[in-house]
Amino acid sequence: MRTQLFQIAKFGAVGVVNTGTFYVLYLLLHTWLPYYPAYVIAFLISMVGSFFLNTYITYRTKPTWRKFLLFPLTNLTNFVVTSVGVFVLVEWFHVNEKIAPLAAAVVAIPVTFVLSRKILTHRDADRPADEVPVAARG
């Protein structure tokens, strides 16, 4: 139980850093792109950062190609929830385009924790012998 609480705290800290990175990217991209393409691009870039931050900091596990390829599946739920949220907030409730992604992200946090923990803490012993950690490949 203590380990899980510590992971939740680290997940939150990583999430704050990742959300900040996403938001800065979103604002920079939104200077020359409409809000939704800026949102999608910033989301994809921050997802890669999230994988490595959560692998090394939150769950203290080795990144592998298998985990890297599965990690976007966990974020698919996050993407759907936040994408629908951004659209609904901006188009239906006329929330400022600069604030809507932050508000929508709050709803997706618990789901993302559960799914990322399942994938990133999957036993390394269960992986195929030929699977090499991401950091070991060039």
pLDDT in tens, 78-133: 889 899 999 999 999 999 999 999 889 887 887 788 889 999 998 654 444 444 45
pLDDT band at 134 (very low <50, low <70, confident <90, very high): low
Q: What is the dihedral of CA 85, 90, 93, 99, to 10 degrees?
A: 80
pLDDT (0 to 100) of residue 135? 54
pTM of the full structure:
0.68
The rounded distance, in Å, linking the Cα atoms of 123 and 108 is 25
pLDDT tens-digit readout, 49-87: 999 999 999 999 999 999 999 998 887 888 898 999 999
What are residue 68's phi and psi, to 5 degrees?
Answer: -60, -40
Q: For residue 67, which of 115, 7, 110 has the smallest C-alpha distance?
A: 115
